Amino acid sequence: MASRNRFGPNERTARSRLAQLLHDQELIKGSIVTMERQCGKAGCHCVVGLRHASLYLSVKLGGKRQMVYIPGDMEDEVRRRVEAYRELERLADVVSGACVDRVLTKKRERKSNG
């Protein structure tokens, strides 16, 4: 196995954090959406404009967009999982960018050598 020293400090940090996320965190690829609705009960405050707000998780399941209701006591947990996935995406972009840079450098070296 090759040494990790071949990676620059930013890439090493990103790879390390990626490994931590994959090992320690539960991840959700999706978005938290607040939806407001009217319940239809006569005399309810939602009739005059103060609608009932509910949280949903917007995810793709089986290739179709689904809206999954999130109970209030699970909001923090679901938000953490969604944010962990977003962090994973940002870190993967750092690693990918460094890999592309290495490919371009190698390509330039080959061109200059011959």
What is the full per-residue pLDDT of the chain (114 aa) written as tens digits?
556 678 899 999 999 999 999 999 999 999 999 999 888 788 888 887 788 889 999 999 999 999 999 999 999 999 999 999 999 999 999 999 999 999 999 999 988 886
Closest CA to 70 of 60, 58, 61, 62: 58
Q: Is 29 left (phi over 0), alpha (psi -120 to 50) or beta?
A: beta
Q: How far apart are CA 109 and CA 101, in angstroms?
A: 12
Which residues, other chains included, contact 31 with Cβ-Cβ below 8 Å and sequence gap of 6+?
Answer: 57, 58, 82
